[in-house]
Structure formats: structure tokens, C-alpha cells
Amino acid sequence: MSIIGKDGAPVSAAQIQAALQRLKEAHLTEGPSSAEQRIDRLDRAIALLLDNRQAIAEAISADFGNRSHEQTLLSDIGGSVASLKHCKAHLRDWMRADTRPAPFPGTEARVEYQPLGVVGVVSPWNFPIVLAFGPLASIFAAGNRAMLKPSELTPRTSALIAELVARHFAETELVTVLGDAQVGATFSAQPFDHLIFTGSTSVARHIMRVAADNLVPVTLELGGKSPVLVSRSADLRTVVERVLTVKTFNAGQICLAPDYVLLPEERLSAFVEEARRFVAQAYPRLGDNPDYTSIVNPRNFDRLHGYLADARGKGAAVLELNPAGEDLGDRMRRKIAPTLLLDVRDDMQVLQEEIFGPLLPLKTYRDFGEAIDYVNARPRPLAAYYFGEDAAERQRVLERTTSGALVVNDAMTHVLAEDLPFGGVGHSGMGAYHGIDGFRTFSHAKAVLVQSPGGEANLPMRAPYGEMIHGLLDHLLTP
Ligand code: NAD
């Protein structure tokens, strides 16, 4: 059975366990997959996505209310295909054993990268394809099999993924489990050889707890509040254009969206003016504009409006960038205008919770050191974005703050660099994938030592102990 939970059928732990068992048995009986088999799986994943791109874009858009087709093709389809192709091109190199210096005369030492076996993948709704197929690219490149549990918040997309996976992959390669958080909890409690979870920090705590029962290693790809640090040396128009391009993409429902901006106090009004100009140009209309993505569901729509009400109530100035002055109250269409928040205080929800929407609080500083201190007083973010030309400041951000990534003079574009590890640190996650880092995450680096014919390294341990061991000990125990 390649799909568990089809058409809303109840999902039991026994079903998941049986599918996992089949995958594990295939791993054992068929042995490690060859480079050709890995490339074949990657090719089938590419074909699945490219042949069905239109249906996938329509399903995501129907799930969101409106999701720009171009954004889907660029991020979900294009992003996945880029990772799959990169893995295809490099996996033979990555698979090569890594020879290490011989530790004793006549011995050989090397690291062999062995598939882990069966990897569980739990994915979120905001980029439902690339956050499933991105990890799968690394998982297949490393020679593994997988089980995928996509999000219940994009039900049409998840059902379509399951159906396409069943058509392109055998049940001994990849199985999809459909269902809600409860199914996710059952899924995460299984004895996978590795589990990768992409989602919220709060759910990650449950994942790690249940994975611990089986000592399943986890990779956690989480969110958080990624700051933008704007230098006095930055060109403000460039800052605004690049930050708002990302903040309005998918209506800010991105783990890497710039969450708040720290800028010099005298640049605040210029930032606001540039932001008005940018939004008027990029999104002259919002409500019926197919380029502007909806908020995924009423719960998230209400959550974001709740943040705005909370901020207003606590004295923030809320500037809606709504060029045509449209009424966006419709909970069916769920559009929220890009919105700047000024005069913000740290007890406001927008500065406490991950925003995950098109709201952008602006905080000011007098001295750049205040911006660094502000970031360091909070959980470690998935990314930090520094804009400016001041080399000393840039170095300070690099060395004095800790984040999954640092992007200079842009936001989020590091995710496109397949050769860079993609992952968080602290509350924004642990472990990484993409490129060789993904291959290594889903491989076991096995130490292999081949003893010399004479077994010299073994002899000193052999009793009875005499002159030889004492000579060796004299050498070993000398500083
Ligand atoms: P979520 O944590 O609510 O859900 C993610 C997945 O976990 C879903 O498939 C869900 O069914 C499942 N799940 C829910 N409760 C579970 C439980 N108790 N046990 C096991 N599985 C459970 O996250 P979301 O709302 O889908 O996504 C938004 C969050 O994901 C944001 O915090 C965002 O920053 C983060 N995110 C991170 C990345 C990244 O790559 N680092 C990418 C996208 C989103």
C-alpha cells in the first residue's frame, strides 16, 4: 500500500508500522542502492513534478484560496527540481569513500557513506512540494527509502502528492501517510532510521520527545524570527525592494521571511516611503490580484489580524500598504495587505511570535550595537539579513550573532545555493540538508579500518606485558 489514509480513511499505528517494515525489509534484502538506482529515483521525482506542474499549482492555489502560479512554479516546482538535479549530478562524487591518513604503519583507514535505511519526512503546508521533495532529493541521493507525512492544511495538494507518488514509486521505495496532527504524532513515534521534520518549534518539541523513545536521530527544520539589520551605509531603496520582495512572496508565509527590521532611527520615514512606492509598483491591487497569495486558512487570517489588534491596542502605528484602498475583510479570500508596524514594543505579539504573514515591524536603533544586542537577547533565528557596505559591521554580525544562515544585502536567497547547508540552530532547528550536507545528513559515515598484515597495532594490547609495551608507554605518555 503506497498511500495510507486515502480519502480521509482512519490511519492506525499498525498500518504505518507494516509499511515501515516493508520498506526496512526491502532495504535489507535488496542491499544498498547503486548510483543508477538513486539517479532513477531522482529522475522519477523530477518527472512527477514536471509532468504534473499545472495540476500541482492548481491544487496549491485551491488550498490557499489563491496561490500565485508563478510563485508555485518558481519555489515549489523549480526549487524541488533544482535540488533533485543537483543531487543527480553530484551523488557519484559524494558516494566515494573518503580515505584518511593511515593511523598505524601498514593500515588503511577510510570513511564509507552508507544509506541509513528508511527516513521519515514530516512536512508543512507553506511550500508543500519543495519541503517534501527537497528533503527527498537528499534522502534518495544517499540511497535511502522514505515515508512522507505531508500537511493536512493543504489537503488537495497532499492527496495529489500521495496519488502521484503511488504512480511513480513502488511501496518499497516511498510511501505517503495522509492525516492530521494526531497522525503526525503516531508517524513520528515510529522507529525510523532518521526523521526529518519541517514545521513549528512548538511541534518540534513533541517530535523530539517521541523520537527519543526509539533513539531516532532527528533533523529539525523550524522557523523563528529572522531579523533584518540595516546599516547606516545601506542604500535604502535596495533594502526595501529586496526585503519586501521576499516579505510579500507567498504573502510572507515563509520560514525565512524577514520577520522584523532594525534600522537607524533617522531612516525610518524614508523606509516607509520606499515601502509605499514598492508595493504600489509590485501589487497595485491586492484583493483580486493573482500574484498576491492568500493567507492559507481562516485560523491564520484571524491570527494575523489578532496580532494587528494587539499591536494597535498597545500603541503601535499600523500602516497598511494597500495602494488601491481595497476592502480586504473577506475571510473567504483572505488577503492581508503588506503592513508596516511602527512604535512597536517588545510585549506586542508581533515581536514575540513568528509572524508568518505580510506584517513587518520596524524597530529603530541609534547605535548599531543595539541591533546586535537585540538579536542576541532572543532565540537564535533561521537567518539574519545584514544590509550595508560597512565591512566591520558585517563582520560583527557574522561573529557576534548566531543564526542558521547570514545573508548579506539580500534575504532568503541562500536557500537557492544548493552547495550551502540549509538549516537552523537552537530554536530554529538542528541539522541541515541540501547538497553534500543533505547527503551526509542521510548517510551513516562508517569508519573502516583495515589492519596491516602483521597486525602491529594489535600487538601492544596482548599480554603478557613486557619490554615492548613499556617502550610504547614511554612514548605515549610523554607530553
Ligand atoms: P506545524 O508544526 O504545525 O506542522 C508541520 C507538520 O507537522 C504537519 O504535517 C502536521 O500535521 C505535523 N504535526 C502537527 N502536530 C504534530 C505532532 N504533535 N506530532 C507530529 N507531527 C505533527 O507547522 P506548519 O504550520 O505546517 O508550518 C509552519 C511552521 O513551519 C513555521 O513555524 C515555519 O517557520 C516552519 N517552517 C520551517 C521551514 C524550514 O525549512 N526551516 C520551512 C517551512 C516552514
How far is ligand 1, taken at its centre, from the CA of residue 188, in Å?
A: 12
Q: Looking at residue 36, what is its pLDDT?
A: 98
Cell of 268: 525610518
Let me know if 221 is a catalytic residue. yes
How far is ligand 1, taken at its centre, from the CA of residue 184, in Å?
A: 10
Q: Looking at residue 280, what is its pLDDT?
A: 98
Parallel/antiparallel/unpaired status of strands 118-122 and 194-198: parallel
d(CA 436, CA 83): 11
The atom of ligand 1 lying closest to the CA of 179 is 11
Mutate to test the pocket of ligand 1, among 75, 122, 208, 216 (most ligand atoms within 8 A of CB): 122
Residues lining ligand 1, judged by CB closer than 6 Å?
122-126, 131, 149, 151-153, 180-181, 184-185, 188, 198-200, 203, 206-207, 221-223, 255, 354, 356, 382, 424, 429
Inter-residue contact 324 to 273 (CB < 8 Å): no
Long-range contacts of residues 15-19, Cβ cutoff 8 Å, at least 24 apart? 16/147, 16/177, 16/186, 16/187, 16/190, 17/190, 19/147, 19/171, 19/175, 19/177
How far is ligand 1, taken at its centre, from the CA of residue 180, in Å?
A: 11
d(CA 202, CA 356): 14
The atom of ligand 1 lying closest to the CA of 210 is 19
Q: Looking at residue 103, what is its pLDDT?
A: 87
d(CA 416, CA 394): 21
The atom of ligand 1 lying closest to the CA of 423 is 41
Q: Looking at residue 180, what is its pLDDT?
A: 97
Residue of the CA atom closest to atom 39 of ligand 1: 221
How far is ligand 1, taken at its centre, from the CA of residue 29, in Å?
A: 34
- Choice among 87, 173, 255, 393 that is catalytic: 255
Q: Output the CA torsion 431→182→28→170 (10° steps).
A: -100
Residue of the CA atom closest to atom 11 of ligand 1: 181
How far is ligand 1, taken at its centre, from the CA of residue 223, in Å?
A: 9
d(CA 108, CA 101): 8
The atom of ligand 1 lying closest to the CA of 153 is 26
Do the domains spanning 3-222+431-443 and 226-421 agree at the CATH topology level? no
Residue of the CA atom closest to atom 19 of ligand 1: 185
Residue of the CA atom closest to atom 37 of ligand 1: 222
The atom of ligand 1 lying closest to the CA of 124 is 26
Cell of 214: 526509539
| Cis preceding linkage at 464, omega within 30 | yes
For the packed helices 130-141 and 35-51, what is the interaxial angle rounded to 10 degrees?
A: 160
Cell of 406: 547570514
Residue of the CA atom closest to atom 14 of ligand 1: 181
Let me know if 30 is a catalytic residue. no
How far is ligand 1, taken at its centre, from the CA of residue 202, in Å?
A: 9
**CATH says 3-222+431-443 is which class?**
alpha beta
DSSP assignment letter at 33: P
One-letter identity of residue 120: G
d(CA 314, CA 344): 8
d(CA 51, CA 44): 10
How far is ligand 1, taken at its centre, from the CA of residue 182, in Å?
A: 13
For the packed helices 155-168 and 35-51, what is the interaxial angle rounded to 10 degrees?
A: 140
- Choice among 87, 173, 221, 274 that is catalytic: 221
Q: Looking at residue 113, what is its pLDDT?
A: 98
Pick one of 3.10.180.10, 3.40.50.170, 2.60.40.10, 3.40.309.10 as the CATH number of 226-421: 3.40.309.10
Mark 330-365 as b/e (b = at least 16 C-beta within 10 Å): eeeebbbbbbbbbbbeeebbbbeebbbbbbbbbbbb
Residue of the CA atom closest to atom 15 of ligand 1: 181
Residue of the CA atom closest to atom 35 of ligand 1: 199
For the four alpha carbons of 302, 305, 310 and 313, in that order, the dihedral sign comes to: negative
d(CA 415, CA 306): 30
d(CA 403, CA 32): 35
Quote the longest CA-to-CA distance of the chain.
92
d(CA 125, CA 180): 12
d(CA 339, CA 360): 6
| pTM for this model (two decimals) | 0.97
- Ordered per-residue pLDDT tens for the chain, 479 residues: 799 999 999 999 999 999 999 999 999 999 999 999 999 999 999 999 999 999 999 999 999 999 999 999 999 999 999 999 999 999 999 999 999 999 889 999 999 999 999 999 999 999 999 999 999 999 999 999 999 999 999 999 999 999 999 999 999 999 999 999 999 999 999 999 999 999 999 999 999 999 999 999 999 999 999 999 999 999 999 999 999 999 999 999 999 999 999 999 999 999 999 999 999 999 999 999 999 999 999 999 999 999 999 999 999 999 999 999 999 999 999 999 999 999 999 999 999 999 999 999 999 999 999 999 999 999 999 999 999 999 999 999 999 999 999 999 999 999 999 999 999 999 999 999 999 999 999 999 999 999 999 998 898 899 999 888 998 899 999 99
Residue of the CA atom closest to atom 40 of ligand 1: 221
Q: Looking at residue 234, what is its pLDDT?
A: 98
DSSP assignment letter at 80: H
Q: Looking at residue 38, what is its pLDDT?
A: 98
Mutate to test the pocket of ligand 1, among 80, 133, 151, 246 (most ligand atoms within 8 A of CB): 151
Distance of CA 311 to the CA centre of its chain: 29
Mutate to test the pocket of ligand 1, among 63, 152, 188, 200 (most ligand atoms within 8 A of CB): 200
User: What residues form DSSP beta bridges with 176?
Assistant: 3, 148
DSSP string, 342-381: ES--TTSGGGTS---SSEEEEEEESSHHHHHHHHHTSPPP
User: What residues form DSSP beta bridges with 360?
Assistant: 340
Q: Looking at residue 132, what is its pLDDT?
A: 98
Cell of 68: 500565485
Give the residue extent of every domain in the chain. 3-222+431-443, 226-421
Inter-residue contact 32 to 91 (CB < 8 Å): no
How far is ligand 1, taken at its centre, from the CA of residue 220, in Å?
A: 10
Cell of 107: 593500515
How far is ligand 1, taken at its centre, from the CA of residue 222, in Å?
A: 8
Counting Cα atoms < 13 Å in the Cβ hemisphere of 185 gives 8
The atom of ligand 1 lying closest to the CA of 382 is 41
Phi-psi region of 110 (alpha: psi -120 to 50; beta: other; left: phi over 0): beta
